[in-house]
Amino acid sequence: MTNKNCIFCKIASGEIKTDFIMETEDYVSFNDVNPQAPWHALIIPREHFSSLNDLNNIELMGKLLEGAQKTAEKLGIKENYRTVINTGREAGQTVFHVHLHVLGGRPLNWPPG
């Protein structure tokens, strides 16, 4: 299922043209438009789920993590990277189509803000 008002559905379907880092039948990854680190990619399922709480497909969850792994490898940051999923506005979620962030290329502080 896709959501016609969702920007990430439009990216995944190709309606908004985007260079993909990775593309499978289940997910795509691409560079974040507003990078917070030298490397900042997003992994999104092709199917629309508003947040991690709505993602009810355990097999797909695993594939998205695999997407994070492989995207980090493709970016050349697989030794050091952070994977983030923001759930809910107060946690920083701004796009309500579930996505994993992959950040790297600089030392990353802990805890995050």
Catalytic residues: 99
Number of residues that bind ligand 5GP (CB under 6 A): 12
Task: Between 69 and 87, name the residue whose CB sits nearer to ligand 5GP.
Answer: 87
Distance of alpha carbon 16 from alpha carbon 18, whole angstroms:
6
Q: What is the smallest separation between the CB atom of 62 and ligand 5GP, expressed in angstroms?
A: 20
Binding-site size for Zn ion (CB under 5 A) equals 6
> Do the beta carbons of residue 104 and residue 38 sit within 8 Å?
yes
Rule CB under 5 A: is residue 40 a binding residue for Zn ion? no
Type of residue at 10 = K
Q: Taking every pair of C-alpha atoms in the chain, what is the biggest distance, in angstroms?
A: 38
Cβ distance to Zn ion smaller for residue 49 or 81: 49
CB of 83 to Zn ion, least distance (A): 20
52 binds Zn ion (CB under 5 A): no
d(CA 86, CA 96): 10
Closer residue to Zn ion, CB minimum distance, 1 or 109: 1
Q: What are the angstrom distances between the C-alpha of 48 and each of 25, 44, 58, 78?
A: 14, 9, 15, 27
Binding site for ligand 5GP (CB under 6 A): 7, 30-34, 42, 86, 92-95
